[in-house]
Structure 1
């Protein structure tokens, strides 16, 4: 199974935030779209970073409420692991678990095309297992 299989059902909508937007604006995006992370990109195509709810919470704890006015570039993760649509889902799940991150940008030909969450990976795996179970039951009962 490939990342492209997840994208077929999930879609390729991806929310980005500019590195110079404020953390407050980031929080509005997260709330409005009911998501846990966004890709940081000046042009919507290049991945400059990623920022999640966890990043905000940790900075609120260490620096206080003044972080809300700071630019996203101040709290984003700059070294971002990415995947391509051709990469395997199982390998991605292992990487996400080992490195404890929940969102990974999907890049093709150097352009951001989607973002995949651990929830997307789990949902896809559950759908696959359910389909396999149904096929086995149909085979056995025939």
Structure 2
């Protein structure tokens, strides 16, 4: 399965913020949408960073309550790993595992077209495995 198929089924909606937004504003958006990460877009709408729940916890641990008044640009992960809709589910699983992160933006020609989360990966991988098991059962039953 390729990432483009996952985006078709889940949609392309992506929560974004600006580098000048505060960590508290971002935390409120994450909480209200029940999501784990938000992409930070620059002036030309390109991905310049990402802030996850883990990043916010790290900032609070390092800076205390003052972390909430920090700007996204000061707390975001800048080296964002992205993929295209042509990447496979297996490639994304490997990338997430090696990088120890749970969200990958989908970017093509410099334009953000979606985001893939570990939940998306697990859901679709499970569906693939169930389909394979069903096919094997059918094959064995017909003998």
TM-score for the superposition, normalised by structure 1: 0.93
Residues 117 and 44 from structure 1, CA distance in 2 versus in 1: closer, same or farther, beyond 3 angstroms? farther
Give distance in 1, aligned partners of 2:83 and 2:137: 35
Query: Structure 1 regions of 5+ residues with no counterpart?
Result: none
Matched, 1:34 2:21: no
Query: Structure 2 regions of 5+ residues with no counterpart?
Result: none
Q: Which residue of 2 aligns with 1:60?
A: 60
Give per-residue Cα distances to partners, 1:7-38, cap 9 Å, x unaligned: 12222111001111111110111011100001
Give distance in 1, aligned partners of 2:101 and 2:50: 11
Q: What do you get for the CA RMSD once the two structures are aligned?
A: 1.5
Q: Which residue of 2 aligns with 1:5?
A: 5
SS at match of 2:47: coil
TM-score for the superposition, normalised by structure 2: 0.92
Mapped contact 1:44–1:112 kept (Cα < 8 A): no
SS at match of 1:64: helix
Q: How many pairs are equivalent?
A: 142
Give per-residue Cα distances to partners, 1:119-138, cap 9 Å, x unaligned: 21111000111122222223
